[in-house]
Amino acid sequence: MSFYHKLCLCLAIILLFASISYASLNQSHDDFGKQTIKIAKGHFQQGKYEEAIESLKELLEIGNSEAQCLLGVIYLSSENDSVKAADWLEKAALQGHSDAQYFLGSLSVQEGVKQDIKKAMYWLEKAAEQNNPAAQFLIGLIYYKGSEIQQKNYEKALDWFVKSATQNNVSAQYQLGVMYFSGLGTPQNYLKAEEFFKKAALQGDLEAQFDLGLMLMNGEGVKMDYTQAAGWIKKSAEQGKVEAQSFLGRIYLNGWGVKADSHASLYWLSKAADQGDEKAIQILKEWFSPMQELYSVSFPVDEWENWKIDNDQKRPSEYVLEFVPLSETVNNWSQLVTILFVSNEILNTNSKTALTVVQSFKKSMNKIYGDQFKSNTFWATENDVLCENFMPNPSEYEIARLIKTSKGIYRLSYTTRGSYRDEKTKEKWLKSIREARLIKL
């Protein structure tokens, strides 16, 4: 279970100008101040930092703490200037602005800069006294992780996390789930762990979604429920958690709580493998044993349930992976997606690059169909070609990409039968093929 991301999340609150700051900034005591802060925030959100700073000048001249806090956040986000940011945040913090106190404290524990835990605790405790949930959480995290001057203290960490979680802080809720699950600072309590994981998961926390999914999948202290587990793990995977993507690939491969779907399994395993997940890489190696490389194909999500995989293994030096609609077969199809691998050993001597393969294909088609054969190239280098082709008798339209590697040539294509061509579908296919990459297994 990952904890470092929680500290990063606190820092992201600064960089992304999170809602914690918005809440207090909206409490300006006069109409002019409210309107000015609103305008400055609007400029900030649009990336117009100079305009945001300019609009705050009048409020800064009279020492408005909300303007000072906002300016500190702007300097940190736009210029990554922690010195200027700290200067303005301190001005607001000295006036009792709780968000500024929190931001100032969090700067002192930011990874990549010289840390000052004593200073951080001073300002964070000031903010926590005003019930700032982000400050309460970060104090808990400092006790949880420990430092050279602050020993680990799980009991104190738990107390601070409870205070923060009571105010619906998602990070604190997740951390409480971790502590109850592992029995840190409190007796192990799986039901409590599930309760807090679920609270955080419902707020969209990807770590909580994954851990809750694992609890339900494994029946750890709770009733085993593959369907719910798959649902939570999918939510985490969709937000980019690599371990969740890898696990979701296995879920679809084995049909745990979902209908087995080799297409969806390949999609998620490829995503995870592309980011170095060893388990996903191993599964793909076993699945595509003759291949040393594999396409990571960005198939549109809305097509997942409408396609199936048909493998046509011809020989170790050649590999064909074909996707057809569930209602059809490879021999009787209206649309087809094909990943073809041909090794160097069986390539024609005149087809040593992707470009020469395409040129050779066009020549042969022209000989067969003459002017009825149509072709258009979107891009072409020696080792990477993307093109579209139309072949009559029977009418077939395809978008194909060829990539040459040291081991051979890979050909990825979308093909539809019939002269009708849907432009929307074409654009979707082009996007998928453009984004396709080879994963080194």
Task: State which of 26-35, 150-159, 191-200 shows the largest mean pLDDT.
Answer: 191-200
pLDDT category at 351 given cuts 50, 70, 90 is low
**For residue 3, what are its two tokens?**
């904890």
Q: Is the pLDDT of residue 164 over 50?
A: yes
- pLDDT tens digits, residue range 418-431? 755 678 888 888 88
Domains in the chain with CATH codes: 4-262 (1.25.40.10), 297-440 (3.40.1000)
Whether residue 246 contacts residue 280, with contact meaning beta carbons closer than 8 Å, is answered with: yes
pLDDT category at 30 given cuts 50, 70, 90 is low
Q: Which of 26-30, 60-64, 116-120 has the lowest mean pLDDT?
A: 26-30
42 vs 227, higher pLDDT: 227
DSSP string, 46-71: TT-HHHHHHHTHHHHHTT-HHHHHHH
- pLDDT tens digits, residue range 186-223? 999 999 999 999 999 999 999 999 999 999 999 998 99
Whether residue 245 contacts residue 277, with contact meaning beta carbons closer than 8 Å, is answered with: yes
Whether residue 182 contacts residue 174, with contact meaning beta carbons closer than 8 Å, is answered with: no
Of 321, 340, 341, 317, whose CA–CA distance to 330 is shortest? 321
DSSP string, 139-167: HHHHHHH--SSS---HHHHHHHHHHHHHT
Round to whole Å and give the CA distance between 54 and 227: 53
